[in-house]
């Protein structure tokens, strides 16, 4: 049995002072229900999550308290992916036919400041100044650039592409182009990453209506099939976020594990993917995630980016909606934004940023602390 | 009248599980699983590789090589806790130091000039006063310095 996505909704990302995170989630849910032509009362279950916006089941305060079984999911950057995964299992188990997946968030300005104790770490780790994801990505990237010959220009090209795609996305936060020189010369934040190479915590909401594939035609003329949804956590010895020590060499990380599991489940390989959304909390993450998800060998990114292969017009468009760099990162909503964008593209409804050639296979990937990753493969 | 002790007489390790302080020859402490041999820093009561609960404690070497690094250029929010303010904050170096036997540990670096940091460079263990607590106690943290 397969699961189909038959409704999608989004609240624009960025800053919306007049709405709580939860209200942005409810807004997205209304649009997703409307898109599928169903009522909230028709939902047989709900899964959703938010890191700082409150319990997702509270969208019932906006949509109506119907008594449906709603489970709150909190799984770091994989919150959205884990919610979709749980929904797929619910449907595949035969327990339910149709339900809602929602994610939203609303973060304060500035870098995240996580509490070490939530990650099984002692207080000193935070006091000493290690509790920053930006540092991890900078250090991982510094080594990657050293080992595989990636230049600062490549990082700037990734960011320039993201802002360019954001210009074409009415729901994006950053909608102005930024040129490569400006990106390279902006304030250095964590060497080798400058200000415009980082995304920022933001706000937004996304919702999906999912159902059993064989009844999808009731709700839409263009269902999108979830061919794989995989989530993995870190293995001992891998280089991951918030790791005071790394004991192994070349141990596959959470992204690599999730990616392999998803390709295996879908019976597909990287060459089958028409476009991809890859976690780009900073420009170097996208570069490294290209290889970790199997889309190139380590180091090939330099030429791929130079040739524009990951631009909208390229061989493998990446982060077609501007990614985290142009949308910011509301943790609970971010992974579902990738899925929203993928469905839009597969429907051929992405407007001025539509990937050419009737794309039929999409790939999404998130990665976050302390080493967790979710990957989905979606097909027409 | 001021009866406060000189601050240098009142010192403690930022966390007593990391290293002993004061100590004649302080070293970082790691745990090693007696069952599978996997090592972890800081000391963990259980083995993070196999889940075994029988670990021994060993001293890490004083010298290693810089595996990667960055400079923390903005002042982190809480839980970062130094005696600095937004006005006095100084960017600091941070990196992973690799020891023979492949273990890498995260560490503050005494150097914050990117021109003076290089992957593969030799670095040596040192200690610094990370902050002074309200009662005058100096809180000592470990760091690595280029040699």
> If you write DSSP's letter for every residue of A244-270 in order, what string do you get?
SEE--SS---HHHHHHHHHHHHHT--G
Is residue B121, in this structure, part of any structural domain at all? yes
User: Taking Cα atoms as reference points, which of A34, A168, A7 lies closest to residue A100?
Assistant: A7
Residue B8: the pLDDT is 58
Q: In a 10 Å sphere around its CB, with 0-12 CB exposed, 13-18 middle and 19+ buried, how is residue B93 labelled?
A: buried
Return the CA Rg of chain B.
17
For residue B70, what are the β-bridge partners?
A: B94
For residue A15, what are the β-bridge partners?
A: none
Distance CA A279, CA A327 (A): 12
> What mean pLDDT comes out for the span A344-349?
98
Is residue B12, in this structure, part of any structural domain at all? no
Is residue B22, in this structure, part of any structural domain at all? no
pLDDT at B139 over 80: yes
pLDDT at B5 over 80: no
Return the CA Rg of chain A.
19
Residue of B65, B68, B95 to mutate for A, most A C-beta atoms under 10 A? B68
Residue of A124, A130, A195 to mutate for B, most B C-beta atoms under 10 A? A124
pLDDT at A126 over 60: yes
B101: confidence class by pLDDT, cuts 50, 70, 90:
confident
pLDDT, tens digit, 9 for 90 and up, residues A169-209? 999 999 999 999 999 999 999 999 999 999 999 999 999 99
Which CATH number covers residue A305? 3.40.47.10
Q: Provide the domain limits for residue B86.
A: 62-146
Is residue B128, in this structure, part of any structural domain at all? yes
Q: Which residues of A touch B139 (CB under 8 A)?
A: 127
Could you tell me how many residues make up chain A? Answer: 380
User: Cβ separation of B80 and A127 shorter than 8 Å?
Assistant: yes
Work out the minimum CA distance from A74 to partner chain B, whole angstroms: 22
**3-class SS string, A40-61:** HHHCCCEEEECCCCCCHHHHHH
Is residue A120, in this structure, part of any structural domain at all? no
Which residue intervals of A170-296 are DSSP H helices? Answer: 180-185, 254-266, 283-292
Measured in degrees and rounded to the nearest 5, phi and psi for residue B111 equal -100, 130
Count the domains in chain B.
Answer: 1
B100: confidence class by pLDDT, cuts 50, 70, 90:
confident
Which of B48, B104, B108 shows the shortest C-beta gap to A128? B108
pLDDT at B7 over 70: no
> Are the C-beta atoms of A177 and A306 separated by less than 8 Å?
no
Distance CA A83, CA A226 (A): 13
A112: confidence class by pLDDT, cuts 50, 70, 90:
confident
Distance CA B45, CA B33 (A): 9
Is residue B38, in this structure, part of any structural domain at all? no
Judge whether A81 is closer than 8 Å to chain B, CB to CB: no
Q: What mean pLDDT, rounded, does chain A reach?
A: 97
Q: Which residues of B touch A115 (CB under 8 A)?
A: 79
Q: Which residues of B touch A190 (CB under 8 A)?
A: 70-73
pLDDT at A229 over 60: yes
Pairing type for strands B104-109 and B138-146 reads parallel
Q: Within 13 A of A198's CA, how many CA atoms are on the CB side?
A: 23
Count the domains in chain A.
Answer: 1
> What mean pLDDT comes out for the span A308-328?
98
Is residue A237, in this structure, part of any structural domain at all? yes
> What mean pLDDT comes out for the span A43-70?
96
Give the Cα-Cα-Cα angle A32, A316, A357 (nearest 5 degrees): 70
Distance CA B80, CA A7 (A): 43
Work out the minimum CA distance from A195 to partner chain B, whole angstroms: 11
Q: Within 13 A of B52's CA, how many CA atoms are on the CB side?
A: 15
B32: confidence class by pLDDT, cuts 50, 70, 90:
very high
User: Taking Cα atoms as reference points, which of B6, B30, B28 lies closest to residue B127?
Assistant: B28
Q: Provide the domain limits for residue A311.
A: 3-109+198-379
> What mean pLDDT comes out for the span B110-126?
97
Listing from the earlier edge strand, what are the strands of the sheet with A46-49?
A: A70-72, A46-49, A98-106, A203-212, A3-14, A224-233, A372-379, A361-368, A275-278
**What ipTM does this complex have?**
0.94
Residue of B37, B70, B98 to mutate for A, most A C-beta atoms under 10 A? B70
Interface contacts (A, B; CB < 8 Å):
119
Is residue B51, in this structure, part of any structural domain at all? no
Distance CA B147, CA B128 (A): 16
Residue of A114, A127, A186, A248 to mutate for B, most B C-beta atoms under 10 A? A127
Q: Which residue has the higher pLDDT, A109 or A106?
A: A106
> Are the C-beta atoms of A288 and A141 separated by less than 8 Å?
yes
A122: confidence class by pLDDT, cuts 50, 70, 90:
very high
For residue A100, what are the β-bridge partners?
A: A46, A209
pLDDT at A1 over 50: yes
Nearest CA in chain A to B100: A247
pLDDT, tens digit, 9 for 90 and up, residues A60-98? 999 999 999 999 999 988 999 999 999 999 999 999 999
Give me the sign of the Cα torsion angle B33, B38, B39, B40: negative
> What mean pLDDT comes out for the span A347-361?
97
Is residue B45, in this structure, part of any structural domain at all? no
Is residue A188, in this structure, part of any structural domain at all? no
> What mean pLDDT comes out for the span B21-31?
95
Question: H-helix or E-strand containing A375?
Answer: strand A372-379
Work out the minimum CA distance from A212 to partner chain B, whole angstroms: 39
Which of B15, B48, B68 shows the shortest C-beta gap to A124? B15
Residue A357: the pLDDT is 95
Q: Among residues of chain B, what percentage have pLDDT more than 70? A: 94
pLDDT at B2 over 50: no
User: Taking Cα atoms as reference points, which of A242, A299, A322 lies closest to residue A77?
Assistant: A242
Could you tell me how many residues make up chain B? Answer: 147
> Are the C-beta atoms of B33 and B47 separated by less than 8 Å?
yes
Which CATH number covers residue B134? 2.40.50
Distance CA A279, CA A159 (A): 13
pLDDT at B9 over 80: no
Pairing type for strands B29-33 and A275-278 reads unpaired
Is residue A231, in this structure, part of any structural domain at all? yes
Distance CA A369, CA A78 (A): 9
Q: Within 13 A of A221's CA, how many CA atoms are on the CB side?
A: 2
Work out the minimum CA distance from B75 to partner chain A, whole angstroms: 9
Q: DSSP letter at B63?
A: E
pLDDT at B69 over 50: yes
Residue A110: the pLDDT is 80
Q: Which residues of B touch A138 (CB under 8 A)?
A: 70
> Are the C-beta atoms of A335 and A77 separated by less than 8 Å?
yes
Residue B1: the pLDDT is 41
Question: Is the link from the previous residue into B42 a cis peptide, with omega within 30 of 0?
Answer: yes
């Amino acid at each position: 049995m397969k699961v189909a996505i038959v409704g999608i909704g989004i609240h624009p990302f960025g800053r919306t002072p007049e709405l709580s995170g939860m209200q942005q989630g409810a807004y997205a849910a209304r649009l997703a229900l409307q898109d599928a032509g169903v009522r909230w009362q028709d939902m047989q279950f709900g899964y959703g999550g938010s890191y700082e916006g409150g319990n997702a089941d509270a969208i019932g305060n906006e949509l109506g308290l119907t008594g449906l079984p709603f489970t709150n999911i909190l799984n770091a950057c994989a919150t959205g992916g884990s919610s979709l995964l749980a929904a797929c299992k619910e449907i595949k188990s035969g327990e339910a036919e149709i339900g809602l997946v929602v994610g939203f968030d609303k973060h304060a300005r500035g870098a995240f400041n996580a509490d070490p104790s939530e990650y099984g770490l002692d207080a000193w780790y935070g006091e000493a100044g290690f509790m920053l994801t930006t540092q991890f990505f900078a250090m991982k990237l510094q080594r990657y650039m050293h080992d595989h010959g990636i230049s600062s220009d490549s990082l700037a090209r990734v960011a320039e592409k993201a802002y360019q795609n954001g210009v074409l996305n009415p729901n994006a936060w950053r909608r102005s182009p930024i040129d490569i020189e400006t990106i390279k010369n902006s304030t250095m934040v964590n060497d080798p990453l400058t200000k415009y190479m980082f995304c920022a915590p933001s706000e937004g909401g996304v919702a999906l209506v999912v159902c059993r594939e064989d009844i999808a035609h009731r709700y839409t003329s263009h269902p999108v099939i979830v061919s794989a949804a995989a989530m993995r956590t870190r293995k001992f010895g891998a280089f991951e976020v918030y790791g005071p020590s790394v004991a192994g060499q070349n141990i596959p990380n959470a992204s690599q594990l999730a990616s392999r599991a998803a390709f295996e489940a879908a019976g597909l390989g990287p060459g089958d993917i028409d476009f991809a959304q890859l976690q780009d909390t900073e420009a170097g993450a996208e570069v490294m995630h290209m290889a970790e998800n199997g889309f190139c060998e380590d180091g090939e990114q330099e030429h791929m980016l130079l040739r524009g292969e990951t631009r909208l017009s390229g061989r493998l468009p990446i982060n077609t909606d501007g990614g985290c760099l142009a949308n910011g990162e509301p943790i609970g909503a971010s992974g579902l934004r990738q899925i929203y964008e993928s469905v839009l593209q597969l429907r051929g409804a992405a407007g001025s940023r539509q990937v050419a050639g009737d794309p039929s296979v999409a790939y999404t990937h998130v990665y976050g602390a302390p080493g967790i990753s979710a990957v989905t493969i979606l097909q027409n | 009248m001021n009866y406060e002790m000189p601050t240098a007489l009142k010192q403690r390790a930022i966390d007593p599980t990391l290293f002993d302080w004061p100590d004649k020859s302080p070293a970082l402490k790691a745990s090693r699983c007696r069952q599978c041999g996997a090592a972890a820093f800081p000391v963990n009561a259980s083995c993070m590789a196999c889940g075994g609960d029988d670990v021994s404690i060993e001293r890490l070497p004083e010298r290693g090589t810089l595996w990667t690094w960055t400079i923390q250029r903005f002042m982190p929010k809480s839980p970062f806790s130094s005696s600095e303010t937004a006005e006095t904050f100084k960017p600091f170096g941070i990196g992973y130091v690799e020891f023979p036997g492949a273990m890498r540990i995260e560490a503050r670096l005494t150097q914050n000039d990117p021109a003076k940091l290089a992957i593969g460079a030799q670095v040596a263990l040192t200690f610094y006063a990370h902050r002074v607590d309200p009662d005058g106690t100096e809180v000592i943290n470990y760091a690595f310095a280029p040699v």
